[in-house]
Amino acid sequence: MSPSALPFPEAERWFWRWEQFATSAVLHRIAMARMWYAQDGSLAVSMGVDGRTACGMSGRLFVPGVGSRLGAPRCRSCCRALGIPWGEGAPYNQAGAEWRDA
């Protein structure tokens, strides 16, 4: 799976790429997402997304808080599907890594 084939390629939405289920701290890469919108047309990010992950899980996922974006473990299966190393935190925080936009 190519990272460019996944949703949220825009740099300003990088923090929506890796999300968590309500019951787990593990960060999963969103492969498909249905967003919720507020009445004013803005994205209701706090509602989470109904999504499917790169590792094949489905359900409601939520944008992690800053601490989780920096330090929560990434899903090993999502990392394998994207061809990036396993590690902690959203890849966008990995300055200089060629896979930071995964």
Residues lying near Zn ion in the complex (CB under 5 A):
28, 53, 55, 75, 77-78
Cβ-based nearer residue to Zn ion, 14 or 61: 61
Q: Residue 14 or residue 27: which is nearer to Zn ion going by CB?
A: 27
| Closer residue to Zn ion in complex, CB, 18/41 | 18
Residue-wise DSSP of 20-42:
EETT---BEEEEEEE--B-TTS-
Whether the CB-CB separation of 30 and 83 falls below 8 Å is answered with no
Q: Report the alpha-carbon distance of residue 1 to residue 99 in Å, rounded.
A: 13
Least Å from the CB of residue 94 to Zn ion: 18
